[in-house]
Amino acid sequence: MSIIAENLEKLRQSINDIALRSNRSPDEIQLVAVSKRFAVTAMEEALEAGQAVFGENYIQEAAQKKQALADRVKLHFIGHLQSNKAKTAADTCDMIETIDRPKIVRSLHKHLENANRHLDVLVQVNLGGESQKSGILPRDVESLATFMQDYPRLRLRGLMTMPPFTPDPELTRPYFRTLRALAEQLNTKGLLGNLSRVELSMGMSHDYHVAIEEGATLIRIGTAIFGARPPLS
Ligand SMILES: *Cc1c(COP(=O)(O)O)cnc(C)c1O
């Protein structure tokens, strides 16, 4: 078995255990394998081990990988999206998790309208108010979600966050709770369609266990599957 296949197996077992111990069904939790900066060959290994959903941060890289792997993979875009890349993003990705401003909503909607398609999206929330991170501030989430109601080609399915990093994952718990509360507010106000399932994309290699305990439905995991990332070239 390859290391990647082994890591995936351990991870699935761990997700399963944490879900059950949190009184959740393991199939509520979808694993997004974050393959940014890893080669297509690494993704092929994960595919062979049954992993078909991948997360990418750079749109050109995502497009190249989609071209190589085609419909065998589903790609989630989890990086900062520029408006001039909206068309490629809409054509390449199965979900964009990082909607954070009206401008990107308008650009994506225009391309989706031309292509006569819909796209699942999440709004990225910058819970720590960190200036170096993308995402909208919590107090502005509702107005962005309201704005998005006029752009129905984007199907808003929930929220995503990347909280401030702390070595102690327990300290991220309040952030995960806040994201969940925000999503519940939006849903109560009818801003997430009439979804029976609201997506919460939260939790990475070092804190996914806390995220699952707090209701994550999508966890984005890179290093725990693929190992240390190669440096930016
Ligand atoms: C890189 C990245 C991840 C994966 O992080 P790991 O610590 O490698 O699991 C998750 N989410 C986002 C937004 C990322 O950029």
Answer whether 181's CB lies under 8 Å from 142's CB.
no
Residue 232 counted as domain residue: no
Q: How far apart are the first and last CA of the chain?
A: 29
Per-residue confidence (pLDDT) for residue 99, from 0 to 100: 98
CA distance 135 to 161: 8
Is 205 close to ligand 1, i.e. is its CB under 6 Å away? yes
Is 204 close to ligand 1, i.e. is its CB under 6 Å away? yes
**Nearest alpha carbon to residue 65 among 90, 98, 41, 45:** 41
For 17-34, how does the pLDDT look when each residue is reduced to its tens digit (9 = 90+)?
999 999 999 999 999 999
In this structure, what is the dihedral angle of CA atoms 204, 210, 211, 214, given to the nearest 10 degrees? 180
Per-residue confidence (pLDDT) for residue 26, from 0 to 100: 97
Give the percent of the chain with pLDDT over 70. Answer: 99
Residue 121 counted as domain residue: yes
Question: In Å, what is the CA distance from 179 to each residue of 69, 145, 152, 174, 197?
Answer: 33, 14, 23, 9, 15
Q: 3-class SS at 221? A: strand
Q: Which residues of the chain have pLDDT under 50?
A: none
Residue 231 counted as domain residue: no
Question: In Å, what is the CA distance from 30 to each residue of 20, 117, 135?
Answer: 15, 24, 22
Q: What is the CATH number of the domain that holds 74?
A: 3.20.20.10
**Nearest alpha carbon to residue 18 among 177, 216, 175, 222:** 216
Q: Domain of 166?
A: 3-226
Pocket test of ligand 1: the residue of 95, 220, 229 to mutate, having most ligand atoms within 8 Å of its CB, is: 220
Domain count, the chain: 1
Per-residue confidence (pLDDT) for residue 98, from 0 to 100: 98
Beta bridge partners of 53: 74
Pocket test of ligand 1: the residue of 8, 78, 204, 210 to mutate, having most ligand atoms within 8 Å of its CB, is: 204
Residue 190 counted as domain residue: yes
Per-residue confidence (pLDDT) for residue 230, from 0 to 100: 86
Residue 233 counted as domain residue: no
Per-residue confidence (pLDDT) for residue 197, from 0 to 100: 87
Place of tokens 């999440």: 122
Residue 141 counted as domain residue: yes
Expressed in angstroms and rounded, the spacing between residue 78 Cα and the centre of ligand 1 is: 8
Q: Tell me if the pTM is above 0.95.
A: yes
Torsion-angle region of residue 158: left (phi > 0), alpha (psi -120 to 50) or beta? left
The token pair at 30 is 């979808």
